[in-house]
Amino acid sequence: MKLHRESKGTITVATILFIVLGVLAIYFLKMWSLLIIMPLLVIYCLVFWFFRVPDRSILDHKENVIAPVDGKVVMIKEVEEGEFLNGKAIQVSIFMSPLNVHICRYPVTGKVIYKKYHPGKYLVAWHEKSSTENERTTVAVETLTHHKVVFRQIAGYVARRIVFYCNEGDQAKAGHEFGFIKFGSRMDVFLPLDTEITCKIGDITKGGLDVIAKLKKS
């Protein structure tokens, strides 16, 4: 199993804690130490599971909007996007639980024309106001169909570390990685009003594979 590059520090700390607590449990509890060691082992394995990198065959896309993360579609609605688009857009939000793969992928192919990090609160990720009040990043891409698509990584109550690697001027490829969020969180995608939405609330998505919308051809 491949592990994500963001796992290094967390796994190092988890390994040290597991060894120290395990040794202390054996020393003080003797035969009863398994009552401590087994739950610790489960948590330790979950840390590795969280940072897994699945092997996925990413196709080339032009009009298709690809799910940027693994998770559950929790919102599809018309909103006012005031940071970059300054107008109405269709917002598709996908919530990630701590057990989901947390790699963040470009939803569309094109050129990165905007990026910004915002410090903020840590409301639960499914809260509607988390899109504008939580710690977050905003990225905009001008697509091959000449649309401007905005997407946003949002930290949640547990997720308090957002990483994104893209820069303005970079070439974005739908389905390919641009960032990572540690633990439960959310991704919002803001699309033109004439976009054909192909997902529905409650759908379970696989990042980089599932088509959630189709942009109007230029």
CA distance 210 to 204: 9
Q: Specify the DSSP element, H or E, that contains 94.
A: strand 87-96
**Helix crossing, 34-50 with 7-29: angle to 10°?**
170
Catalytic residue among 93, 130, 131, 185: 185
Tell me whether strands 110-118 and 171-172 are parallel, antiparallel or unpaired: antiparallel
What are the DSSP calls for 28-64, one per residue?
HHGGGGHHHHHHHHHHHHHHHHHTB-----PPP-SSE
Q: Which residues fall within 8 angstroms of residue 1, CB to CB, at 6 or more apart?
A: 48, 52, 53
Q: Is-catalytic flag, 33?
A: no
CA 152, distance to chain mean position in Å, is: 9
Hey, which residues are catalytic here?
185
